[in-house]
Amino acid sequence: MIQLCASATIKGHKIHYPRTGATVIPPALLLSYRSVIWLVLIAICVAAHPTASDAEPPISVVATTSIIADTARSIAGPFATVIALMGPGIDPHLYKASPGDLRTLSSASLILHNGLHLEGKMAEALQKLSSRKTVVAVTAEIPRGKLRAISINSEVYDPHVWFDVSLWIACAQTIRDALIRHDPSHATDYSNRFSALATELQQLDTWTRAQISSIPANNRVLITAHDAFGYFGRAYGIEVLAIQGVSTESEASLRSINELVQTIVRRKIPAIFIENTISPKAVEALVEGAKAHGHTVMIGGQLLSDSLGDHGTPEGSYSGTVKHNVLTITKALAGAVPGGAT
Ligand code: ZN
């Protein structure tokens, strides 16, 4: 043992300690000290490094929309990297995969998309990828009877299932199952994380119903740019009218604008809503049209329809987006908003 004194003798070597307290080690002992240091470093590295099985990199998941990506991240936790192709404000109905997107998709080990033709212009690319990749439509396990057909006897369904929170829990379950199939070594983790998310979403579902029911019955009409809130209206008891249909691929027609103006004026609707993924022009035309008929209808706010809000804000998460929409709708239509958030 080296003693903290002016000098000491070890194995016959005189060791001097300068005033700074630094140890001067004779060359003959240097090798053995270095060996010890190396052994200690190696031991630290071995202890700090994961074992071979833990060192596996997280699986890579690519989701088409920000909504799917956020839910996948909640379930996957640290065991997967999740990339969203479409960021905030992007309209999935019109989105075309770029060459860069195709490279990102090709490098993924698991691809998640909404299905039900939400990503209408990516259908061919996803179809091709499915021959060599695991491609999962998160809406695939929803019983067809719970989907909204766009017309009677139609087998084309409204893709905006995420605004019925209970249906989105079913989609989250499909995401969990896809992760487990793809990475069974973390099955318990995925199951536990899904259970926590499902509990949170069930509370969100209950809160949403209570909020919407606080809107006076006459005001309980949600008018938006495109028909993204049909499941929301069905689940939470609010009538939904929109200028465009369930897709934004066709232009807003003058006829549908005129019809909605008549409805707004006749029913004295106090507020209508713009959306974050669609130009506000058609909704503004409703405001002007109603004004020309002597009725003032205000724009009640911007709803987050086909994408989440900005990264780093509360609206950048699925539950934050739902809360934002519910509070915006409730406030503009004169509902009570007790306590605001859940
Ligand atoms: Zn849409």
Query: Hey, what amino acid is at 247?
Result: S
Overall average pLDDT of the 135-153 stretch: 93
3-state secondary structure of 64: coil
pLDDT at 37: 46
State the average pLDDT over residues 293-302: 97
CA of 162 to the centre of ligand 1 (A): 11
Give the distance (Å) from ligand 1 centre to CA of residue 54: 41
Please give the share of the chain, as a percent, with pLDDT higher than 70: 82
Closest CA to 20 of 40, 2, 4: 4
For ligand 1, the distance from its centroid to the CA atom of residue 62, given in whole angstroms, is: 20
Give the integer Cα–Cα distance in Å for 175 and 193. 12
C-alpha dist (Å) from residue 47 to 38, 43, 50, 90, 188: 14, 6, 8, 46, 25
Q: What is the pLDDT of residue 152?
A: 78
- Tell me how far the alpha carbon of residue 86 lies from the centroid of ligand 1, in angstroms: 13
With contact defined as beta carbons under 8 Å apart, do 208 and 326 qualify?
yes
Cα-to-centroid distance, 68 and ligand 1 (Å)? 14
The residue count for the chain? 342
Give the pLDDT band (50/70/90) at residue 336: confident
Q: For residue 229, how far is its CA from the centre of ligand 1 (angstroms)? A: 9
At residue 4 the predicted structure's pLDDT band, cuts being 50, 70 and 90, is very low
Domain chopping of the chain, boundaries: 2-49, 59-209, 212-332
Helix axes 165-182, 66-76, angle to 10 degrees: 60
Q: How much distance in Å is there from the Cα of 271 to the middle of ligand 1? A: 20
Asked if 163 and 228 touch (Cβ cutoff 8 Å), the reply is yes
pLDDT band at 157; cut points 50, 70, 90: very high
CATH superfamily of 59-209: Nitrogenase molybdenum iron protein domain (3.40.50.1980)
Does domain 212-332 fall under CATH 3.40.50.1980? My reply is yes
**Which single residue is written with the structure tokens 């860069």?**
100
Query: In the predicted model, is pLDDT for residue 16 greater than 80?
Result: no
Q: How far is the CA of 236 from the centre of ligand 1 (A)?
A: 19
Query: Which residues make Cβ contacts (< 8 Å) with residue 112, sequence separation at least 6?
Result: 61, 62, 63, 64, 68, 69, 72, 136, 138, 175, 178
The pLDDT of residue 123 is: 94
Task: Give 254 Cα–ligand 1 centroid separation in angstroms.
Answer: 20
| 220-271 pLDDT per residue, tens | 999 999 999 999 999 999 999 999 998 888 778 999 999 999 999 999 999 9
- pLDDT score of 211: 97
**Residue bearing tokens 């490098």:** 107
DSSP codes joined into one string, 208-263: HHHHHHTS-GGG-EEEEEES--HHHHHHHT-EEEEEE-S-SSSPPPHHHHHHHHHH
Q: Any idea what the Cα angle at residue 307 is, between residues 332 and 163, rounded to 5°? A: 60
- The phi-psi region of residue 295 (left if phi > 0; otherwise alpha if psi is between -120 and 50; otherwise beta) is beta
- Rounded to whole angstroms, the Cα distance separating 288 from 261 reads 9
Q: What is the pLDDT of residues 65-78, one digit of tens each?
A: 999 999 999 999 99
Q: How far is the CA of 195 from the centre of ligand 1 (A)?
A: 28
Q: What angle do CA 146, 276, 222 make, to 5 degrees?
A: 55
Q: What band does 339 get if pLDDT is binned at 50, 70 and 90? A: low
Report CA(90)–ligand 1 centroid distance (Å): 10
Cα 29 from Cα 335, distance rounded (Å) = 82
Pairing of the two strands 80-84 and 59-63: parallel
* Cα 153 from Cα 165, distance rounded (Å): 25
